[in-house]
Amino acid sequence: MTQFRPVSEEVLQQLESVVGVENLSSAESERRLRSHDMSHHAPHMAELVVWPRTARQVADVLRIANAALVPVTPWGAGSSLEGNPIPLFGGISLSFERMNRIVALHADDFQVTVQPGIGYKDLNAILARDGLFFAPDPGANASIGGMLANNAAGSRTVKYGATRDNVLATQVALADGRLIRTGSRSIKQSAGYDLTHLMIGSEGTLGVITEATLRLMPIATVMSGVLASFPTVAAAVEAVVAIRGSGLDVAALEFIDGPTAALISREEGVAWGERPILLMEVHATHAASAELDLALIEEICMALGVMAFRATTDSAERRQMWRARHHLFETLVRVFPGYKWQLMDIAVPISSLPALVDHVAQTLLNNELVGFVIGHAGDGNVHVTMPYNDEATRRRTAVANDTIVYKAIELGGTSTGEHGVGIGKAKFMSREHGAALDVMRTLKQALDPNGILNPGKIFSAE
């Protein structure tokens, strides 16, 4: 690995001449704020925070850093869960907080071009005026740049796809200071290598995204929320497979295990009971087609012994369901004050979901661990959240984590469905990708020969 150098006085002056003194800071408070994400990974501070305002500035910052062997780690909103934006080797934390504009809205084409620092929730609040939205919804107010870099997804991915499926074009600054455009605004594209999708999910290790053209969806006219409570985990998971297998195009299909449902009921004042739950959403153009979908969902759930079934088109009630679900992490932090968290994010083919969920339960039991199991079950993605507050429990959560990840890979799945590799999943890359990991290394070497872009991520810090 490259021997990085500290930010010298000369480099500082060059950077100041590019972005202006008001757009960089070595203040400890600024560096500390960007030294950690929302995960358990240890913090590490950059030497300098730089806030570029234009794509050209981003490219110039990279050119200067590359020549001086100073590492650069992009920063969006810091909501990652695998240490992805932690500047592990110091250097520059390149923050996109001041590049947060909509560049152009092409409402007739269902597209918008944005700078990377805009929050997806802020973007959607503006797009709603035109009846449109950017579908991937990671819950936290992530930036678009961070979502692209992690290939974030969410509860509506089952219908609308992950971030990768909703990006048409990007502008990217490369380590050597070149500024390139990838893709086009055409829905269909087959001109050459797909560099757009190479950049998505690359966690700022291949290039820095300075602009993105996103696909938008019309906001559905009819939205229904469904809550179904099952006697056992097996029945709930079987219902997930059956609903997907029926061809129903549900907009969300979330699994919440019994202990988590009980916690949410208690803390959020909802009557979800203590049994495993499926939380669903149906989007339709007409009330009649929504009703047909809801009837089929109910029929499937009844066949699998559902204990309570509630479907609603009342938007306040539907929003309350989602608020309770989306507050889960905050709720856990409140209920377990002072605890740290091992957050898992494995995904498998939908038919392997029952086997994975069984394995998770058995692993928690074997290791005497408390674990809250939820998942974007409609696309085979499971999250296990394990609290710990002492070294012995931390070790057991680490063992459980490894066991479950290896099982997901063995079942034909992946070590991370949406949170990205960051620091935490790097050790599984070889098992998951085999010889393809060498090809990834070759790509990294070609685009970033000095390894200045977000070092220590995706590939283990050697």
Ligand X SMILES: Cc1cc2nc3c(=O)[nH]c(=O)nc-3n(C[C@H](O)[C@H](O)[C@H](O)COP(=O)(O)OP(=O)(O)OC[C@H]3O[C@@H](n4cnc5c(N)ncnc54)[C@H](O)[C@@H]3O)c2cc1C
Residues near ligand X, by CB under 6 A: 37-38, 73-81, 84-85, 96, 116, 138-140, 142-143, 145-147, 149-150, 152-154, 203-204, 208-209, 329, 418-419, 454
Question: CB-based burial of residue 144 (10 Å sphere; 0-12 exposed, 13-18 middle, 19+ buried)?
Answer: buried
Residues listed for the chain: 462
Judged by beta carbon, residue 127 or residue 209, the one nearer ligand X is: 209
Q: Nearest-CB residue to ligand X?
A: 146
Judged by beta carbon, residue 77 or residue 240, the one nearer ligand X is: 77
| Alpha-carbon gap, residue 25 to 352, rounded angstroms | 49
Whether the Cβ atoms of residue 216 and residue 111 lie closer than 8 Å to each other: yes
Judged by beta carbon, residue 379 or residue 418, the one nearer ligand X is: 418
Judged by beta carbon, residue 235 or residue 261, the one nearer ligand X is: 261
Judged by beta carbon, residue 91 or residue 204, the one nearer ligand X is: 204
Rounded to the nearest whole angstrom, what is the least distance from the CB of residue 173 to ligand X in the complex? 8
Contacting residues for 132 by C-beta, under 8 A, at least 6 apart = 107, 110, 112, 216, 217, 218, 219
Rounded to the nearest whole angstrom, what is the least distance from the CB of residue 144 to ligand X in the complex? 8
Judged by beta carbon, residue 94 or residue 294, the one nearer ligand X is: 94
Rounded to the nearest whole angstrom, what is the least distance from the CB of residue 330 to ligand X in the complex? 7
Rounded to the nearest whole angstrom, what is the least distance from the CB of residue 78 to ligand X in the complex? 5
| Alpha-carbon gap, residue 55 to 37, rounded angstroms | 24
Rounded to the nearest whole angstrom, what is the least distance from the CB of residue 317 to ligand X in the complex? 22
Rounded to the nearest whole angstrom, what is the least distance from the CB of residue 143 to ligand X in the complex? 3
Judged by beta carbon, residue 41 or residue 396, the one nearer ligand X is: 41
Rounded to the nearest whole angstrom, what is the least distance from the CB of residue 167 to ligand X in the complex? 12
Place of tokens 């029926």: 246
Rounded to the nearest whole angstrom, what is the least distance from the CB of residue 305 to ligand X in the complex? 29
Rounded to the nearest whole angstrom, what is the least distance from the CB of residue 162 to ligand X in the complex? 8
Report strand pairing: 277-284 vs 252-256.
antiparallel
Whether the Cβ atoms of residue 48 and residue 26 lie closer than 8 Å to each other: yes
Rounded to the nearest whole angstrom, what is the least distance from the CB of residue 250 to ligand X in the complex? 17
Best CA proximity match to 246, nearest among 282, 296, 290: 296
Judged by beta carbon, residue 252 or residue 294, the one nearer ligand X is: 252
Judged by beta carbon, residue 82 or residue 432, the one nearer ligand X is: 82
Judged by beta carbon, residue 272 or residue 341, the one nearer ligand X is: 341
